[in-house]
Structure 1
Amino acid sequence: MGQVESTGLRSRFKVLAAGAIAFAAICVAGSLADALLPPDVPLDANFPSQPSAVELAYLRDAYAKSPNDWPRPRLLADADFTEMAALDIHPAPTDRELALARLGHDLFEDPALSASGHIACQSCHNRRLGWGDALPTPFGHARAKGKRNAMPLFSVGYKSTFFWDGRSGSLEHQALGPLTDAHEMANDNLDGVVARINAKEAYRATINAIKGDGNSFEAEDIVAALAAFQRTLERPTRFDRYLRGDQKALTDTQVWGLHIFRTKAGCANCHNGPLLSDNRFHNIGLSFFNRKLEDLGRFNVTGKIEDVGKFLTPSLRHVSRTAPYMHNGVFPRLEGLIRFYEAAMDSVGKRQPVADERKPQFDAALQKSPQLKSFKLTAAERAALVAFLEAL
């Protein structure tokens, strides 16, 4: 009997000892985990410029939440910030709208829209070139060189302001610009365009099917079809997937780049919301006032002195596919674009001689947007920011 009791005691002791050891191991593991966590790492512009794997994991955890709970962006004076969100892509068109979009696709690729019969919409907005033409500025009628970069078309179906200077408020009205511009499609008016389209039997059959038998093309049908097609061009991005909860959509480096975008680099002051644009006009110092590349931007539309040198904030969606950058295409790569903002460079030249009648414009050109402030990135931070931009 004594031997049996002794054996039982030894068994219970072993169980208790094993439990104690396991509990101690859990405590030690917890202590180690707590030691590895960096609770004092700043989740702002002072985040480490050479972060460790643990610090990057800590940052990823901070951005695994809803965007409304992300670390706050570094916002400067007068910034109009909307929190980032996945873009709700329009549903695919059906029925009459689908037929109109297909017609718009055919018209988009047809050089018959131009006076010369040589230039189509896709000449400057090519699908394979990010819906641009990969040139600083495009060539148009008789090889005339344009003044401004051909804006990519991915997100035009979601915008309310068009052209770098914002002179148009609808896609349909925007289409009239290149059709009648002497340096682009060079039509004196739309009568010739309408006549050339109506002369094609396939187009007549299509418009009859859309509008009813006996109808022919009118100018408003052409721009409506072009607009319907352009509203179908947007596509989801890796960043959209991340914003919808797919944590694997971005690497640790890209999450770091997202944080830099929002804080140290200050990009989110102007590039925010689902379209990554505040849809406002800013003077970033690229008017080249009184120089060969001079372009006074929004001022040429409004005539207001305060608009000298201001241009519409472009959407950054698909930005890695839409080089070169800026209204005049002077930056061929994202790295150069980032360095421009780092230094807050200026093309105006403060000491140049200016005629008295242009002095008010000159003074306005010197007044850059308050959302611009110089910053300094390490090579690793710059690479992380580029990596993030490539996910947009």
Structure 2
Amino acid sequence: MMLRARAYDLLGRVSQSFGRFVRSQPPGFTPAALAIAAIVFVMAPIELWRESQRDVAIGFPADPGERDLLRLHERYARPVEDWPRPVLSRAADFTEFARLDILARPTEGPEALKVALGRRLFADPRLSGSGQIACESCHNRRLGWGDGLPVSFGDGRQTGTRNAPSLFSSGYKTALFWDQRAASLEEQARGPILSPVEMNNHSIDDMVDRVAAERDYREAFAKVEPGEALDADAIFAALAAFQRTLERPTRLDRFIEGRHDALDPEQVWGLHLFRTKARCANCHNGPLLSDGKAHNIGLSFYGRRLSDLGAYEITGDPADAGAFATPSLRHLSRTGPYMHNGLFGNLEGIVRLYEIGGGRTVSAEVAATDPIGRAASTRSELLLPFTLTRDERRALVRFLEAL
């Protein structure tokens, strides 16, 4: 009833304004000009009303009934540009949600052969110094292209310090690793190959020599790039070509493209909370549900057992202390545990972390006396605490599980 009253009031004010406008025109004011003016006066309030409607849904009730949920579902069944506005910080780098345009998998020719070769290399422990660790040891298809562990182990059962990121969307990113130190999959491959904790090769050449010693590999590479050398670049290119085929459509993709039964009304409520009250869309947006940036959410544990300063260890810039890449949320339910250190085993725990505005893992004493500690304790300005009801939290988790 309130919205209807606002509409009548708006139309009444428009009618009065149009009447005053017509009476103020000179005698030579033509019918054609009158028609144009009428269109302008009618369309302007319609557009204003449309914009106001997009904002109204931000005040969605915390205890909605079935009809409320159905109306919200209908709102999100519209094109994305007509969805309710997200709640954003001025510092947010927001890209509107969209269906991901998934790269086509080659089915014939040299590129298809390269993908097949990359798949074989990905599963081959020859790429490790011990002959025991393959890429798929930490990135297993059945475990969401991760390994299901908080942090990975590698050569000689050595334990690393970071969670193995899922590879679903790796071919769409321009910054890889939790600290974003690699700009492409080809560059990224060198990291684990040479890491003494992961695949423990003394040199890239050692790895190349083992692969090149196999006749099957020499013949396969010759078919992909006739006349070209079987070298590290060729191996990394094949691995990258395979990884670029791993992405798949999600329920959210299907919902955005018009299959509105892909998300039920409660999950759409969770989508709405994701974009508004919970403010998740400040960092998780666009087709990848990631802004592609690194942020400090307060989990550096600086000066403690789990200490990890993230991007700072690459850049040396105090502003990067405690900053880690914003992961894509695509296929989220299949890619736990979560965070750079695998600290969270379930999505409700992550929601509760953000409800309190992020972590507080640097002591006040350290932050007061140590410049790097102070930088690590400075969480992203995009993080603001919020409060969800039990039902809201469940709806948000159900949406996250549907991604």
TM-score range, shorter chain: 0.7 to 0.9
TM-score with structure 2 setting the length: 0.84
Number of residues of Structure 1 aligned to a counterpart in Structure 2? 351
> 1:41–1:47: 8 Å Cα contact kept in structure 2?
no
Output one character per residue of 1:105-162: Cα deviation in whole Å (capped at 9) or x when no partner: 0000000000000000000000000000000000011111111110000001111110
Q: Is it true that 1:142 corresponds to 2:156 in the alignment? A: yes
User: What residue in structure 1 maps to residue 141 of structure 2?
Assistant: 127
Q: Which sits farther off after the overlay, 296-305 or 340-349? A: 340-349
In the TM superposition, what is the alpha-carbon distance from 1:352 to its structure 2 partner? 3.1
1:210-289 equivalences in 2 (<5 Å)? 210-212=224-226, 216-289=229-302
1:282-361 equivalences in 2 (<5 Å)? 282-353=295-366, 359-361=370-372
Output one character per residue of 1:278-324: Cα deviation in whole Å (capped at 9) or x when no partner: 00110000000111101111111111111111111000000110000
In the TM superposition, what is the alpha-carbon distance from 1:165 to its structure 2 partner? 0.5
Q: Is it true that 1:60 corresponds to 2:73 in the alignment? A: yes
Q: Distance in 2 between matches of 1:194 and 1:117?
A: 13
1:85/1:179 CA distance change after superposition, 3 Å: same
User: What residue in structure 2 maps to residue 33 of structure 1?
Assistant: none
1:259/1:168 CA distance change after superposition, 3 Å: same
Q: Is it true that 1:117 corresponds to 2:122 in the alignment? A: no
User: What residue in structure 2 maps to residue 88 of structure 1?
Assistant: 101
Q: Distance in 2 between matches of 1:285 and 1:391?
A: 27
Residue 106 (structure 1) aligned to one of 120, 124, 148 = 120
User: What residue in structure 2 maps to residue 199 of structure 1?
Assistant: 213
In the TM superposition, what is the alpha-carbon distance from 1:192 to its structure 2 partner? 1.1
> 1:257–1:384: 8 Å Cα contact kept in structure 2?
yes
In the TM superposition, what is the alpha-carbon distance from 1:171 to its structure 2 partner? 0.7
User: What residue in structure 2 maps to residue 376 of structure 1?
Assistant: 387
User: What residue in structure 2 maps to residue 367 of structure 1?
Assistant: 378
In the TM superposition, what is the alpha-carbon distance from 1:386 to its structure 2 partner? 1.2
Q: Distance in 2 between matches of 1:302 and 1:349?
A: 20
1:229/1:70 CA distance change after superposition, 3 Å: same
Q: Distance in 2 between matches of 1:68 and 1:366?
A: 37
User: What residue in structure 2 maps to residue 24 of structure 1?
Assistant: none
Q: CA RMSD in A?
A: 1.7
Letter in 1 for 2:275: R
Letter in 2 for 1:261: F
Letter in 2 for 1:377: L
1:44/1:310 CA distance change after superposition, 3 Å: farther
> 1:198–1:216: 8 Å Cα contact kept in structure 2?
no
SS for the counterpart of 1:248 is coil
User: What residue in structure 2 maps to residue 72 of structure 1?
Assistant: 85
Percent sequence identity over aligned pairs = 53
Output one character per residue of 1:327-347: Cα deviation in whole Å (capped at 9) or x when no partner: 000000011111111112423
Q: Distance in 2 between matches of 1:361 and 1:218?
A: 41
Q: Distance in 2 between matches of 1:58 and 1:43?
A: 12
In the TM superposition, what is the alpha-carbon distance from 1:245 to its structure 2 partner? 0.7
> 2:292–2:325: 8 Å Cα contact kept in structure 1?
yes
Q: Distance in 2 between matches of 1:197 and 1:337?
A: 42
In the TM superposition, what is the alpha-carbon distance from 1:42 to its structure 2 partner? 7.6
User: What residue in structure 2 maps to residue 13 of structure 1?
Assistant: none
In the TM superposition, what is the alpha-carbon distance from 1:355 to its structure 2 partner? 9.3
> 2:298–2:361: 8 Å Cα contact kept in structure 1?
yes
In the TM superposition, what is the alpha-carbon distance from 1:365 to its structure 2 partner? 1.2
Q: Distance in 1 between matches of 2:120 and 2:198?
A: 19
SS for the counterpart of 2:324 is strand
1:53/1:41 CA distance change after superposition, 3 Å: farther
Letter in 2 for 1:189: S
1:40/1:103 CA distance change after superposition, 3 Å: closer
Say which one has the larger Rg: 1
Q: Is it true that 1:169 corresponds to 2:183 in the alignment? A: yes
Q: Distance in 2 between matches of 1:283 and 1:216?
A: 43
In the TM superposition, what is the alpha-carbon distance from 1:54 to its structure 2 partner? 0.8
Q: Distance in 2 between matches of 1:308 and 1:44?
A: 37
SS for the counterpart of 1:369 is coil
1:21-32 equivalences in 2 (<5 Å)? none
Q: Is it true that 1:385 corresponds to 2:396 in the alignment? A: yes
> 1:43–1:59: 8 Å Cα contact kept in structure 2?
no
In the TM superposition, what is the alpha-carbon distance from 1:201 to its structure 2 partner? 1.6
Q: Distance in 2 between matches of 1:59 and 1:138?
A: 41
Output one character per residue of 1:7-59: Cα deviation in whole Å (capped at 9) or x when no partner: xxxxxxxxxxxxxxxxxxxxxxxxxxxxxxxx999844431111111111111
SS for the counterpart of 2:97 is coil
Output one character per residue of 1:230-274: Cα deviation in whole Å (capped at 9) or x when no partner: 000000011100000111111001111100000010000000000
Letter in 2 for 1:146: G
Residue 155 (structure 1) aligned to one of 154, 165, 169 = 169
